[in-house]
Structure 1
Amino acid sequence: MKQANAYLATIMLALVAGLGGNVPALAAATQAAPIRYDAARRVFRIDAGKVTYAFGVNADGELQTLYWGSRLMAGDPLPVAVPPAPRSSFDPVGADTPQEYAGWGGPITVMPDLKVHFADGNRDLVLRYDSYRIDDGKLQVMLHDRRAGIDVMLNYSVDAATGIIGRSARIENHASQAVTLDRAASASWNLPPATDYSLRYLTGTWASEWHVRTRPLTPGATELESRRGSTGDENNPWFAIERGAQWNESHGRVWFGALAWSGSWSIHVDQDVLNQVRVTGGYDPFDFSYRLEPGQGLDTPVFYAGYTDDGIGEASRLMHQFERDRILPAHGHPKLRPVLYNSWEATGFKVNEAEQERLAGKAAALGVERFVVDDGWFGARNSDHAGLGDWTVNREKFPHGLKPLIDKVHALGMSFGLWVEPEMVNPDSDLYRRHPDWVLNFKGRPRSLGRNQLVLNLARDDVSQYVFQVLDELLSRNDIQFLKWDYNRNWSEPGWPQQAPDRQQQVYVTYVRHLYDIIRRLRERHPGLEIESCSGGGARVDLGIMGLTDEVWPSDNTDPSDRLSIQDGFTYAYAPAVMMAWVTGSPNWVNGRSSSLDFRFLSAMQGGLGIGADILKWTPAEDAVARRYIAAYKDIRATVQLGRLYRLLSPQGHAPRSATESVAIDGRQAVLFAFLRQGQDAQAYPTLYLQGLDETARYRYRLIHGKAAAGTPAVASGAYWMHHGIDLELRNDMDAAAAVFERIGTAGNVRR
């Protein structure tokens, strides 16, 4: 009884403080409080969505994970925190404790979150619990090593709808000497001990991104990381861990998470000798060093994670909802992606006012809503060898500047967008000739080129201010609604000669912080501006850059068959609401594969629809097909972009078939896409069983393209479409179909 009273008293005090002493609101707030602390048992508990997360303070003062899984009842007891018993002299008490945030010191053998060395040579750091604060639905827990003078503030946020928790750390030096951080993670996530876990993650390379990989977890470690200075496409900072052999899209326990950071990063997955699984993520420790003088601090990125027992499909849908509601700049009110035309494939670097106006006129006639001029409009930019960094309009190509073209585009009823790559510079540019010291470099060492360009060091205040000023001026002088922000190479020679040697490696953090600040300031100065994150395709897609941009470019590979796999993999971690997909020419420039305009449109309509083909070469018949699909897309795009996505047939591993279904948030519409890359042995296409419908409602279906089997009813219940399914007649190579299901009433109330 005393424990219960102490528990309730703690809640009451925290809530009164948070509500400013508003006692009448206390009862309701107590019921809804997602974060609670049991002072008697020293247990923190978070309840949100369908998830409970709990950790406690053990006898050694360590924060120890207690539970992370399906939501428990309010009265269900949680154990107090007790470190694992010692096994031998090699594994003493504390060595294998599943800590929330561990310093490297004492007997620890688990992967630490924080590793430091002091100016006097000490490298021992033992973090102990000090205090906590609950305020406005967020939790802060203070750890410290009092003797070493290091404080770590752990920050917890929680999304009530999805149960996804965000965690980060602030590390402060309160010692009398400098300390250097050798490793600084955002958080560690601890899973229950088991031997039947498997890890899912995403790998890729240019034009072949977003491959879904699965491997069993066994004792040892798996390191997912980017050492490239940016997010990278070799790995993406997302993970999913499933338990048991029966998991699939709709069944199984899944723990999942993603790191909100656009620089070098690491997610370390470790199974220890006790079969405990630990996922530690944050700054990549490779080449990392961050020096803190007395009184200085460092904030880590946010590491988000969630749980579901409804399979990997539900894990994806929770992530999609969380990104739309909590990550994207619109914060729960994302704008629908307009149908876009990009001029790159039509013109390359041979951009000029007259040709762009012709393309704009044709695009508007097709129903396009946004016209984007790609590379080649500025400086001496006639190839990728020159001009980057000189963000002034090329007056030979645009004699009167961009205004006449922009006015033309607006008069046609479209918004105007422009391609930029502001973080890069060509050696053959006025900017580089003036400031050769502005790039990442090691003094006296060679400077490696990538795509004939170097990386500007945005960590420098003067460089970041220059980039902001030239973009601000470009946007101030021209009525531009959209920037396609590109980034076309990895880092090399990541030196910062203007800094002292023991501070140069801070470039990994400061560069990205300045990048975020530039984009944030531009959006504040130019309300309504929308930005796409592009990096040679999908090499900079993460929750950090997504919080500042409106859409992302998953891949430069626009082959519609390859795109089925690319887009499928993308959706494991990221929402269709941000995924741009283009209809380009046939044969495709990547692989020479030919495909019908129907197949290309239907493939691209699964995300934000764009067109990149040379539309001036389209025939009247092709124009008519394009107009029909664009009109059809506008009718379904809210469902496709913002609805709940179900992956019905996976195209991963070069599988011949792919099918997806999107269900509108209000349940009134569902959209089905089906593809056959390659017919095999005259086999019929598998029956497709819809998901996410109301079993008692009636749905009328119509085809956008393709043919359904004879006898398919025009109207049937949700139960029929989900349990009986629908058969589509797809038999030929590169064949596709799409259907729309509209809810028209309940079983006893059908509108005709």
Structure 2
Amino acid sequence: MSISYLEKQQIFEIRMNRSSYLFGVNEKGTVQHLYWGEPVEAAECGFMLKGRHHSSFDAEIDREVEEFGGWGGSHYAEPSLKVEFGDGVRDLKLDYAGYELVKEDELIIKLIDVHYALRIDVHYKVFSEYDVIERFVRVHNDEALPVRIEQVMAAVWSVGGLPEYRMTHVAGRWAGEYQLRCNVLSEGKKTLESRRGFTGPHASPWFAIDDGRADETNGQVWFGALGWSGNWKIVAEKTIFGHVRIVGGINDFDSAFTLAPGETYTSPIFTGGFTSGGFGEMSRILHQYQYKYILPARQLRKVLYNSWEATTFDVTVEGQVELARQAAKIGVERFVVDDGWFGARNSDRAGLGDWQVNPKKFPNGLQELIEEVKGLGMEFGLWVEPESVNPDSDLYRQHPDWIYQFATREGTQLRNQYLLNLGLPEVKQFVLDFMTELLTAHDISFIKWDMNRTVTEPGSLPGSDPIWVKHAEHLYEIWAELREKFPKVEFETCAGGGGRIDLGILRYADQAWISDNTDARDRLAIQEGFSYAYSPSVMMCWVTESPNGFNGRSLSLSYRFHSSMMGGLGIGADIGQWSDAEMEEASHYVELYKEIRHIILEGNLYRLEPLGRSNVAAYQYVSRDGAEAVVFTFLQSQYFGSEERRIRLRGLEADALYETRLNDGDVVVLHGSTLMHVGFPLTLKGDYVSSLLRLKRKD
């Protein structure tokens, strides 16, 4: 069994394939975390379950490692739960009240206040093959009076016994998301959060902790990822007594709410895991866990063309048909019309919210283009931004009260638009209705769902519902209903690039647009940071123009394709302007991608040479059965002439023979041991050049 209770020691043991997670009930009735790491014998760890006292200033040190503790008494760490009861008491004292083993891999720990009828169920679901635990809580108000919830976290993760603690996370901004950061944790708190109404590009709800010595291939790493697409918070707190606790959940900022008598609150899921195989193994665990248990579907990403950069708002049926014909020539499988197909949408100043096909741009309706696209052997997709509205739109003129606003304030316009208050039932229904009508009336296989602004002037909702929370909950409910009604439609999450990607939205989204920055060199850094937490199987990457509009950098078509082939391949350039030679080269890479995408999207990723270590970056993907692999290598610039260099591969069978082929060169047969320990010769020369190595095991 994954979960067992040692009654004599009063210890709960979660035993996974390569790790142990222990907690127990101490003499005070408090549920105390004990251990998380390499496998141990739980029965021998009873000595750890005890109260600790330092002085009157630190009377209960053991409360720093409560498995789930409320604010009250002498507890001063970041609280899991902070409440105010109906009589004004703000003190919470939670005692252990039993447990329920739902299944062999699901456990509920029951806590209750010593005086008030407030119950907390702490849930654990174990994925032993990945050494991963999902945690969330349910808070039940059995009082006769309402209870005000000021802060409620999804879980607390405790890491102890390290001589030093280093936290790894990602930071960023629009067009520069997922930049890797490492910080040594000294005493105090390190907070990652979003207060912008969605996950946000500035941080992602994922963390990793190690002792400062772990690297890509070695070392113990503790990690976690929160599944919530609204305001969120993760706090890593190091105490003076050597504990580190990581608390995460919905951000308490401006989010207090009332739990009425008989009501129950359920938190998001906060997933945690452990590995002794370094950051590379951590990522592979997260990727496999997401692929098997999080993502709604597992189809291989189709090669996609998006018309935005070619036409922007100048959308016409004739222009889209011509682009579709060009896309079909190079093997594209899905043609997507971006912004500009609806309402009076000739710029970003008008029409957003009016989701009717523009009759001037499509005199015979949208179906004319759809039939043309399907006749060319492609699926049809469409861009929408349902949560936003232009002031210059019929929707806003009819329902100015539907936006986030304060009565005495002039609303902030960002990108010439307001944000609809999706927490309102009538707004939720409006979005569901127009999306249902759109998908019913047209043969659409793909929706790119965008959100190009943050929440401002967040007003209020009728009743006591927290406005920040309702937006995300209604978004999930809309996506869930649309997926049920239209199971053949795939959805992409996009928020001005990678602004809404987390384990919450990925339960509904088939793929993710991780950045509006499509420069292939910048994308290497963004994609690498993304890969630490999230699976390449959802990551969409586009080949666009050179020089690139973001930074003016000129890159070869081969470099741009190699960079974009490391996830779901898309093309966003104005292919109507490409030469015959460029079209032929693009066709070659699209065909090649189709041959290897099962390795990239379903296989295991090894970051052989991460960016920043040198002027070379190399990434290897190994198929799930181990029979095939591909390696993408990028040279940023050549210094001081040539040098002999080899890239050592990973994840191969030492005694197996592999047919290797670099780009379109000759096949060379080598043993896995040679490829992993001696390496494959790196022959790149010049600036911004790349190569693709293919391997196939000889059986």
TM-score by length of 2: 0.98
8 A Cα contact 1:56 1:80, kept in partner: no
1:411-448 CA-partner distances (Å, limit 9, x unpaired): 11111100000011111111111111111111121200
1:479 pairs with 443, 460, 480, which one?
Answer: 443
| Counterpart position of 1:491 | 455
CA distance in 2, matches of 1:236, 1:652: 21
Equivalent residue in structure 2 for 1:231, among 199, 210, 213 = 199
CA contact (8 A) 2:149 2:258 kept: yes
Matched, 1:666 2:620: no
1:522-561 alignment runs, 5 A limit:
522-561=482-521
For the residues of structure 1 that align with 2:185 and 2:492, how far apart are their CA atoms?
Answer: 36
Out of 562, 583, 597, which is 1:623 matched to?
Answer: 583
- How far apart are residue 294 of structure 1 and its match? 1.2
3-state secondary structure, aligned to 1:543: coil
CA contact (8 A) 1:53 1:67 kept: yes
Instruction: For residue 110 of structure 1, report the CA deviation from its aligned partner.
Output: 2.0
State how far apart, in whole Å, the 2-side matches of 1:739 and 1:127 are. 58
Aligned pairs for 1:375-394 (under 5 A) are: 375-394=339-358
Where do residues 589-604 of structure 1 align in structure 2 (5 Å cutoff)?
589-604=549-564
Q: Larger deviation: 34-43 or 395-404?
A: 34-43
Determine if the alignment matches structure 1 residue 454 to structure 2 residue 414: no
Residue aligned with 2:314, SS: coil
Equivalent residue for 1:692? Answer: 651
Which residue of structure 1 lines up, in the alignment, with residue 221 of structure 2?
254
Q: How does 1:47-126 map to 2 (within 5 A)?
A: 47-72=15-40, 77-79=44-46, 82-93=49-60, 96-126=63-93
SS of alignment partner, residue 372 of structure 1: strand
Distance of 1:696 and 1:76 partners within structure 2? 41
- What whole-Å deviation, never above 9, does each CA across 1:672-710 have from its counterpart, x for those lacking one? 0000122222243631000000101100011236x79xx
Q: Provide the rounded CA distance (Å) in 1 between the counterparts of 2:128 and 2:442.
A: 42
Q: 2:673 aligns with which of 706, 711, 719?
A: 719
Does the residue aligned with 2:646 lie in a helix, a strand or coil? coil
Distance 1:81 1:141, change over 3 A: farther
Secondary structure of 2:172's aligned partner = strand
- The letter for the 2-side match of 1:564 is L
- CA contact 1:410–1:416 (8 Å) conserved in 2: yes
Question: What does residue 569 of structure 1 align with?
Answer: 529
Work out the CA distance in 1 between the residues paired with 2:163 and 2:417. Answer: 48
State the partner residue of 1:308: 275
Q: Aligned residue for 2:245?
A: 278
Moved more, 161-170 or 188-197: 188-197
Query: Over residues 166-219 of structure 1, what are the superposed CA-to-partner deviations in whole Å (9 max), with x where a residue is unaligned?
Result: 000011211222211111100000011333111000000000011000011111
CA contact (8 A) 2:387 2:422 kept: yes
Query: Are the equivalent residues in 2 in contact too, given 1:371–1:417 (CA < 8 A)?
Result: yes
Aligned residues of 2:63 and 2:69 also touching (Cα < 8 A): no
Contact 1:56/1:64, CA 8 A, preserved across alignment? yes
Q: What is the CA–CA distance in structure 1 between the aligned matches of 2:45 and 2:365, rounded to whole Å?
A: 67
Q: Specify the code of the residue in structure 1 equivalent to 2:40.
A: L
Deviations 1:430-471 (A, max 9, x none): 111111111111112120011111111111111101100100
Q: Distance in 2 between matches of 1:455 and 1:200?
A: 33
Distance 1:393 1:650 in 2: 46
What one-letter code is carried by the residue in structure 2 that aligns with 1:499? Answer: P
2:330 maps to which residue? 366
Q: Secondary structure at the match of 1:202?
A: strand
Q: How far 1:76 sits from its partner (Å)?
A: 5.8
For residue 558 of structure 1, report the CA deviation from its aligned partner.
Answer: 0.3
Residue 198 of structure 1 corresponds to 166
Which segment is superposed worse, 519-528 or 152-161? 152-161
Deviation at 1:149, TM superposition (A): 2.0
Residue among 453, 463, 470 paired with 1:510 = 470
Contact 1:83-1:94 at 8 Å conserved across structures:
no
Q: 2:402 pairs with 412, 431, 438, which one?
A: 438
State the number of aligned residues. 698
- Amino acid of the structure 2 residue aligned with 1:579: M
Aligned pair 1:153/2:116, yes or no? no
The CA distance in 2 between the partners of 1:148 and 1:678, in whole Å, is 67
State the 1:727 CA deviation. Answer: 1.2
Query: Residue by residue, what CA displacement relative to the aligned partner does 1:574-594 show, whole Å, maximum 9, x if unpaired?
Result: 010000000001110111111
Shift of 1:81: 5.6
Determine the C-alpha separation between the residues in 2 that align with 1:258 and 1:239: 7
Q: SS of the counterpart of 1:714?
A: strand
- Going from structure 1 to structure 2, the CA distance change for 1:147 and 1:452 (only over 3 Å counts) comes to same
Contact map agreement 2:52 2:62 (CA 8 A) in 1 = no
Task: Name the residue aligned to 1:335.
Answer: 299
Residue 643 of structure 1 aligns to which amino acid in structure 2?
G
Structure 2 residue 254 is matched with structure 1 residue 295: no
Tell me the distance in 1 between the aligned counterparts of 2:455 and 2:335.
Answer: 31
Q: Is the 8 A contact 1:632 1:704 kept in 2?
A: no
**Deviation, structure 1 residue 93:** 2.8
2:208 is matched with 240
Amino acid at match of 2:73: G
Q: Secondary structure at the match of 1:463?
A: helix
> Residues 133 and 272 of structure 2 are in contact (CA less than 8 Å); yes or no, is this contact kept in structure 1?
yes
Secondary structure, aligned partner of 2:647: coil
Q: Structure 1 CA distance, aligned partners of 2:47 and 2:296?
A: 40
Q: Which amino acid aligns with 1:36?
A: S
**In structure 2, distance between residues paired with 1:418 and 1:250:** 41
Question: What letter is aligned with 1:701?
Answer: T
Uncovered stretches (5+) of structure 1, i.e. residues with no partner: 1-32, 746-752
Deviations 1:384-427 (A, max 9, x none): 11111111100100111111111111111111100000011111
Amino acid at match of 1:554: I
Structure 2 residues without counterparts, runs of 5 or longer:
none
Taking only aligned residues, the RMSD between alpha carbons, in angstroms, comes to 1.5
One-letter code of the match for 2:201? D
Aligned equivalents of 2:414, 2:612: Cα separation in 1:
31
CA contact (8 A) 1:565 1:652 kept: no
Q: Does 1:739 pair with 2:657?
A: no
Cα gap change, 1:199 to 1:686, in 2 (>3 Å): farther
What is the aligned-residue identity percentage?
45
Partner of 1:18: none
Distance 2:212 2:368 in 1: 62
Report deviation, 1:285: 1.5
Say if 2:570 is the partner of 1:610.
yes
Structure 1 distance, partners of 2:402, 2:303, is 38
Separation (CA, whole Å) in 1 of partners of 2:308 and 2:188: 47
Pair 1:263-2:230 in alignment:
yes
Q: Is the 8 A contact 2:208 2:223 kept in 1?
A: yes
Give the CA deviation at 1:47. Answer: 1.6
